[in-house]
Amino acid sequence: MTASNDQPRAHARRRPVALVTGTAAALGLAAVSLAGPARAASTLTVAKDGSGMYTTVQAAVNAASAGDTISIAKGTYQEIVNVPTTKAGLTLKGATGNAEDVVITYDRAAGYTDSSGNKYGTLGSSVATFSANNLAVTGLTVQNSFNKDAHPDITDTQAVAVTAQGDRQTFRNDRFISRQDTVLNWAPSATGQYRQYFYSSFVTGDVDFIFGNATAVYDRVNIQLRDSGAAAGGLNGFLSAPNTSSAKTYGILVTGSSITSSAAANTYYLGRPWHPSADAVGQLVIRQTSLPAAVKTAGPWTDMSGYSWKNARFFEYKNTGSGAGVNSNRPQLTDSQAASYTAQKYLAGTDGWNPVG
């Protein structure tokens, strides 16, 4: 960071500063830099009881500089959080290391309206929006507490907990909770490089709750399919809805994870292709993951808004559990193909990024 006022050190002889490099060279003088030492990263503390530097997470984000750490004390913080692109390298962490201790929560749905009477929409329903590159989030719970049963008048029931829309973002030891559209993996530029890595975390929902057009890896994640009360063979929901650009090889990967549910058997689809534009051809692989009986074993993929799942890029590989199976409606990767669909391959991008494990 460049110093705003360069002060001379004690006992140092002040030398003339050459404003024009050529002139300095002609006079035999060395150019003197006014740049000060790089700014050291700081840790900002948040605590509801006032014992920290700030009482809200957003106040700390606003005050932070790129590269800083925000440590959040145990408590429930009812607020909307936005980390803009200018806060690159920011770390948000729960101070206790236990995600259940530090909860950021808010009640907002796409169908709610702002002060001008405009609906928030899916993106606007997000409790936490992370736009900065090289962001790290650890030891936090983010929950959208919208309850559609309590709001029968709301028809747009998307309720995002987290919008991840930066590149080289990592989420470790976190919990993300909602019903519809829990985690949005978003690429503001559909063909741009936006990579997000979720490790050793917990995600729960019931409709399209892992979705979007960014490149995202869910590695050793506990994914819970919530029970909405449907009887066996009925419909409780859909785990995912990718809308990956056809120009991208990689969309969403679930690997080495555990998908669990108390829902009745054969009531959940693993995914459906969100097709909001002609170039959206959803890409999703679920590999070496345990699947519950709630998954529709005869055919875990389904169409969306008239767009066939068979036109998407959906594959499984060596899944286990009572919800696993192999048949004509369950495309499988070969061993050779699987070597190209690993966490490292998804995340490497153009710079070889490897946050895996």
Which residue in the list 68, 174, 181, 206 is annotated as catalytic?
181
User: 182 to each of 20, 177, 226, how far by Cα in Å?
Assistant: 56, 6, 12
Active-site annotation holds for 208: yes
Side-by-side strand order, sheet with 141-144:
75-78, 102-106, 141-144, 175-177, 202-205, 222-225, 258-261
Residue with tokens 């495309």: 331
Active-site annotation holds for 181: yes
- What CA–CA distance (Å, rounded) separates 317 from 255? 9
> 3-state secondary structure string, 294-309?
CECCCCCECCECCECH
What is the DSSP secondary-structure string of 248-261? -S--EEEES-EEEE
* SS3 of residue 280 by DSSP: strand
Which residue in the list 68, 167, 208, 219 is annotated as catalytic?
208
Amino acid making up residue 198:
F
> Shortest CA distance to 273 belongs to which of 223, 299, 308, 225?
308
> Shortest CA distance to 71 belongs to which of 138, 143, 164?
138
- Known catalytic residues are 181, 208
